[in-house]
Structure 1
């Protein structure tokens, strides 16, 4: 997964600070490179997949909350995804 492309997609879809976008994109790339998503879903993790799933999060969630919400769902259904979560306090540091 191209991190620059994902950052652009996230920037266009969600209102978030650059530092937060960078952290979420890095975690998504790590998740893609780890291969678990591809094995679990028989599909490549793409920027579009990430943005589409994050868009399903409850209204009003920040980008970090959306990311962690999605990872929570993945972890419940397949296990092993919490290692890619983002600390909630990253938004206060950004």
Structure 2
């Protein structure tokens, strides 16, 4: 079952960052979950609570920088995760 963007956005609200930034990360997190790549590499589906757990391990920072830190870790471990980095978002 693919997790919804809203579920990821709600979970990510614990980290500093604007709503637009959080939504950008949530969309990419949902894309990663839907791709099946994380499930293949980790052996289980990517859930919002798990994303929060991993992002808590990241150095201090806004939600996008924490996400990108984690994606970098996944890319080093497994390869092929660079496309899931957050590069920009539009503030409203």
Q: TM-score, normalised by structure 1?
A: 0.89
CA displacement at 1:9 relative to structure 2: 1.0
Q: Give the secondary structure class of the aligned counterpart of 2:69.
A: helix
Residue-by-residue CA offset, 1:53-92 (whole Å, 9 max, x unaligned): 0110012x111110100000000000000001011x53xx
Q: Match for residue 4 of structure 1?
A: 6
Q: TM-score, normalised by structure 2?
A: 0.91
Question: Are residues 1:83 and 2:83 paired?
Answer: yes
Q: Match for residue 58 of structure 1?
A: 59
Structure 2: how far apart are the matches of 1:4 and 1:84?
18
CA displacement at 1:2 relative to structure 2: 1.8
Structure 1: how far apart are the matches of 2:71 and 2:7?
20
Residue ranges of structure 1 left out of the alignment (5+ in a row) = none
Q: Match for residue 29 of structure 2?
A: 28
Structure 2: how far apart are the matches of 1:5 and 1:77?
26
Q: Give the secondary structure class of the aligned counterpart of 2:46.
A: coil
Deviating above 4 A after TM superposition, structure 1's stretches of 4 or more consecutive aligned residues are none
Residue-by-residue CA offset, 1:6-63 (whole Å, 9 max, x unaligned): 111111x11211100110000000001000000001111000011110110012x111
Structure 2: how far apart are the matches of 1:48 and 1:55?
11
Structure with more helix by fraction: 1
RMSD: 1.1
